[in-house]
Chain A
Amino acid sequence: MSTDLIYLVTGAGVSMLGFRGFVTRAHLFWKILGINLMGSGIFLILIAAPPRLPGGEADPVPQAMVLTGIVVALSATALALGVALRVAVRTGRPYLEEEAGDPVDHPTAASEIRREME
């Protein structure tokens, strides 16, 4: 088992753990963390899958892709955190209404609209 294979398997594991976290956790911050881990796992796969150059360096094309990906993931994370904080401020809870299964009725944008329609 070579270095590349070890990290291929790790990438598969990390991305699926991230996906699981994204699906199973209701708290928005953990969803963002899960998406980030998914991305990191996919990046690992992208770098570990193609054959290495003779000098032992990774293929430059996926490296450039992943470099771009890291920056884009970061800006998406910042925006997502901003939205999550906004949701938290508006509703008092860092969850989306549908997933929280709230025992108490919290005014959210969706519930406000629904109430107005009724």
Chain B
Amino acid sequence: MSALPWILDGVVALLLIGLAYRLLDTRDLFEATVLYIAFGLTLSLAWVRLGAADLALAEAALGAGVTGALFLNAYQRLARRGEGRTDEESSGLTVVDDRVDEVSPAAALASYGVWGLIAGGLAWVLVTLPARDPILPVLVDAALEDAGVSNPITAVLLNFRAYDTLLEIVVLVAAMVGVWSLDRGSREFARNPADLGDEPILGALSRLVVPLAGLTAVYLTWTGAYATGGAFQAGALAAGAGVLLVAAGFMRPVTSAAPFTRALGVLALVVFTVVGLVSLFWTGLFLDYPPGAEYGLILLVEGALTVSIAVILVELFVDVPAIPEDDPGLRVLDPTGDPLGRVISPDGAFIRGAEEE
């Protein structure tokens, strides 16, 4: 027995713990965001080690990629750096959490000690769980023959537990509606429209990568029936391509307000529900696909899911409320002066700008 796998797992585990500790301990939002992306990528390594390739794909695309883009997007809107400031003045990072209480090292140690005890207890309970023979995989295996697809994960998601996936797309649509309704006043995308299309090299990369990503998304949707892949990974990939198109200026940022984005966003929900009703009519059970038609129906739902997930994810990215230009802005820790014309009192408290009502 070689020690190499242990070393690999140990390094990944220590990285995960270390990154999680550091990103929650730092007071610098930019650092925390970057560390969170690194955490997602490391986590997808852990999924590979745990034999969950589908999760590795989804984590890299969604957990690290799209979530990271969302946080960076929100960070940019929080920070809104002033023009012409040098790196020294702003130290490159302006959004700082100034509400962390300074505690003595002993108190910090005690705090982490208590939390460590809780975590240790949880770990102890988990590790000493009695070993059991697999039950669910056996059931899945037995039912797989009639599922219409041979990838057990797709079979669970879109056949055995199709209800869950239907409700999941409801959650996605709800999130899209929620983010959209948060800020109906200012629909401006964070980037200055004049900047859009001003990135020739990013444009060149998009021309290279976006068609490939689209092709891969179709491939992943298709291959999900019998191998690693599926609508979620494919949708995430297509969403990444969409975000790139918006960032490179090939696509005007269209918010959820546009009729066709709404239509595409609810497409999967509609298709899924219609398939469920048809099967209710046919077999007497909601979402119990008629025998023989499973593969076709699952592929239909998967295709619609890929489109809707991609559109919703791009919308979640585009729809995040912008901070209006005339807003006094946030307390930006900046000892050398206030580029946004706000007043910061010596004790660090924020006093609203004079233009405020």
The answer to whether A9 and B153 touch across the interface, beta carbons within 8 angstroms, is no
The answer to whether A7 and B74 touch across the interface, beta carbons within 8 angstroms, is no
Q: How far is the CB of A41 from chain B (nearest CB, A)?
A: 8
Q: B62 in the interface, Cβ–Cβ < 8 Å?
A: yes
Cβ contacts A73-85/B at 8 Å (1 or 0 each): 1111111011111
The answer to whether A56 and B51 touch across the interface, beta carbons within 8 angstroms, is yes
The answer to whether B10 and A14 touch across the interface, beta carbons within 8 angstroms, is no
Chain A residues, Cβ within 8 Å of B118:
16
Distance of A50 Cα from B66 Cα, bound (Å): 29
With A7-B50, A10-B16, A77-B67 in contact, is A86–B32 under 8 Å at CB? no
The answer to whether B331 and A12 touch across the interface, beta carbons within 8 angstroms, is no
Q: How far is the CB of B51 from chain A (nearest CB, A)?
A: 4
The answer to whether A74 and B55 touch across the interface, beta carbons within 8 angstroms, is no
Distance of A76 Cα from B208 Cα, bound (Å): 32
Chain A residues, Cβ within 8 Å of B328:
92
Q: Choose, from B172-180, B198-206, B276-284, the stretch at the interface.
A: B172-180
Chain B residues, Cβ within 8 Å of A34:
24
Q: How far is the CB of A85 from chain B (nearest CB, A)?
A: 5
Residue of B nearest to A83 (CB): B182
Give the residue of A3, A75, A86, A104 whose beta carbon is less than 8 angstroms from that of B351. Answer: A104
Per the CB 8 Å criterion, the residue count for chain A at the interface is: 85
Chain A residues, Cβ within 8 Å of B67:
36, 74, 77
Give the residue of B122, B131, B352 whose beta carbon is less than 8 angstroms from that of A51. Answer: B131
Cβ contacts A48-66/B at 8 Å (1 or 0 each): 1111110111111111111
The answer to whether A53 and B55 touch across the interface, beta carbons within 8 angstroms, is no
The answer to whether B13 and A6 touch across the interface, beta carbons within 8 angstroms, is yes
Chain B residues, Cβ within 8 Å of A33:
23-24, 32, 36, 71
Q: B137 in the interface, Cβ–Cβ < 8 Å?
A: yes
Distance of A36 Cα from B74 Cα, bound (Å): 16
The answer to whether B171 and A75 touch across the interface, beta carbons within 8 angstroms, is yes
Chain A residues, Cβ within 8 Å of B77:
85
Q: List 8 A-B contacts (CB under 8 A).
A: A3-B50, A16-B122, A30-B24, A37-B20, A52-B51, A71-B62, A74-B63, A81-B71
Residues of chain A at the chain B interface (Cβ within 8 Å): 1, 3-21, 24-27, 29-30, 33-34, 36-37, 40-41, 43-45, 47-53, 55-68, 70-79, 81-86, 88-89, 92-95, 99-104, 106
Residues of chain B at the chain A interface (Cβ within 8 Å): 5-6, 9-10, 13, 16-17, 20-21, 23-24, 29, 32, 36, 39-40, 43, 46-47, 49-52, 54-55, 58-59, 62-63, 66-67, 70-71, 74-75, 77-78, 97, 99-100, 111-112, 115-116, 118-120, 122-123, 126-127, 129, 131-134, 136-137, 140, 152-153, 155-157, 161, 164-165, 168, 171-172, 174-176, 178-179, 182-183, 230, 232, 309, 312-313, 316-317, 319-321, 323-324, 327-331, 345, 347, 349-352
